[in-house]
Amino acid sequence: MGYAAQADDVFRTRLAERSDELDQLFMELYDDCAALDALKEAMAEAYAARPGDLRELDKAREADPEWYKRGDMFGMTMYSDLFAGSLNSLADRIPYLQEQQLTYLHLMPILQMPHPHNDGGYAVEDFDNVDPAFGTNEDLAALTAKLRKAGISLCLDFVMNHTASTHRWARRAQEGDPEYQSYYFCYDDRTVPDQFDGTVPQVFPSAAPGNFSWNEQMGKWVMTQFYPFQWDLNYRNPKVLVAMLGSAMHLANLGVEVLRLDAVPYIWKQLGTNCRNLPQVHAIVRMLRIALECVCPAVVLKGEVVMAPKELAAYFGTPEKPECHMLYNVSMMVNLWSALANGDTRLLKAQTDALNALPPNCWFVNYLRCHDDIGWGLDEDKERELGIDPLEHKEFLYHFYEGAVPGSWAMGELYNYDAASSDARSCGTTASLCGVERAVITHDKPALETAVSRDLLLHMAMAFLRGFPMLSCGDEIAQLNGWNYKEDPDRVEDSRNLHRSRFDWDKAALRRESGTLQNRLWDGMAELRSMRDDPCFAPDAWVSTWDAHNDGVFALVRKSQGETLVGLFNFTGQAQHARLGGSDSIMGPMDADLGAYEAQLVRR
């Protein structure tokens, strides 16, 4: 075959070890030998084009396959243009990232996109090229090389579910080409769309209602589960899969080391289902994993799976047939904010127990804020078990973080409020949601001290969880909300822009000035990294919650290499006492007193 002629022994050996499974998965899904050969040809071409320094990285990562689980992993997510401007300007700012000992940097989408309406870059019109507003592919390759030299792995989003309506495939489809209409879900009338709508929930019921949009030029209904300018891809067509996997490998050859699979549970559509978490999704992710292991094994997959804990384990696959290396820990993010608002850690503990019960191959990226909103997807069955009304609790939380509940310290905004279901999500930076902004505006120094304590408590608890921590850029200097988005006609309709503001370099300059707000947070993040240098943060550490006999205190225990570390986190604004029972095999009993919003580490 042609692909064998292009490859050396390394690629042929990797492919031979995985070919039987790849063939089986592909043929079960498509029964198309020509398309399978096209995929293998694309894999061989990507391997042949892989730069020598990245092949060396592949060898190192094959020898150290759990590199991303080390305790010193420390991440950050950012919009490159808001942080520095172009990719070249970002490269000039790498020393700032090194100051924080980052090992992982997630850039929000930088691939070619329509302007101005692009859903923050998640409407992609070219998966193979950087948007000119950020630079060029050569700039990206140069940036990744400089980041690698600084010990930082770059993560980029790979938007598998949809393309922009301006993508070349969508343009051809709108011109009437049936070949490219088959890359999407296009229908002459509402018969099939109505059947889908009968079982498929809406993603944005108020901002973008429905799952289909009428395209006047094409004269057809097209599936658009997210926004009308984002057309869902039809993975029933093997050409779509082959092309998308080719783009993934192309990004890897530009030096991208982590691919974040955006909205991956949605990628397979089937009538009569909710089009979420279907078995074919896992077959596709497994094939992507196999392709990367053959071509560029240094690259890892991070899944964005905003689903219940019972759905998460499947996205890791099994130790024998792995899928994603790690997932975004969305549910823990939500539960941390919930516990902070009501001073009750019972739901947080239950959610932690559910995730800790997952198999050892399940690994998470933990965070407090990211580019997106806080969607209040709590475990409703557990809430009812604890005597909490799920709807009332959700309404309390989003109004609390809007600052509309008496006693709330937060300043934020609602996103995607739906009056029919009383559903809404929350926006705002970590500092503003913790009360820093309100305290600054009112010149209330005691309130500011309390707000900083909340902020640091959340970060410390997040970093103690199983997985590794990721900051949202600006959290390290307590960056506040960017209300000026309301003055921009291209941004005003999306309240998520509240926490998507330009990085304040003037404020960052204060990070070394003792006594400043920025210095408090900067030093707090240094303490967080110091905590994670402990041997109890080894990849194979045993992690469990512990009963503190106090619902206001969240207790976690880590044990590794004969060492035991206890983390105690007071989620209330009052002093609390914690009493932990002992265990013959882990630790003796202990008592501890904690101040308001205090995090305490205890060696046992």
Say if residues 358 and 564 touch (Cβ distance below 8 Å): no
CB neighbourhood size of 199 (10 A): 12
Q: How far apart are CA 162 and CA 375, in angstroms?
A: 21
Q: What share of the chain is helix, strand, coil (3-state, %, to 5)?
A: 45, 20, 35
Say if residues 577 and 601 touch (Cβ distance below 8 Å): no
CB neighbourhood size of 8 (10 A): 11
Q: How far apart are CA 336 and CA 121, in angstroms?
A: 28
Could you give the C-alpha distances from 72 to 25, 324, 562, 577, in angstroms and in order?
Answer: 36, 21, 19, 31
CB neighbourhood size of 497 (10 A): 22
The secondary element (H helix, E strand) that includes residue 112 is: strand 111-112
- Kindly state the tokens that stand for 372: 């997106």
Q: Given its phi and psi angles, is residue 75 left (phi above 0), alpha (psi -120 to 50 degrees) or beta?
A: beta
Q: How far apart are CA 524 and CA 516, in angstroms?
A: 12
CB neighbourhood size of 515 (10 A): 8
Q: How far apart are CA 131 and CA 429, in angstroms?
A: 27
Q: How far apart are CA 304 and CA 375, in angstroms?
A: 14
Greatest alpha-carbon span in the chain: 73
- Per DSSP, 204 falls in state B
Please name which of 323, 222, 221, 327 lies closest in space to residue 282, comparing C-alpha atoms: 323
| Catalytic residue list | 262, 304
Which residues are within 8 A (CB) of 322 and not within 5 positions of it... i.e. 6 or more apart? 286, 289, 316, 361
Q: How far apart are CA 571 and CA 454, in angstroms?
A: 8
Which alpha helices (DSSP H) does 374-516 contain, by range? Answer: 380-385, 390-400, 430-433, 436-442, 445-464, 505-508
Q: How far apart are CA 339 and CA 462, in angstroms?
A: 12
Amino acid in the structure at residue 180: Y
Enumerate the β-bridge partners of residue 349. none
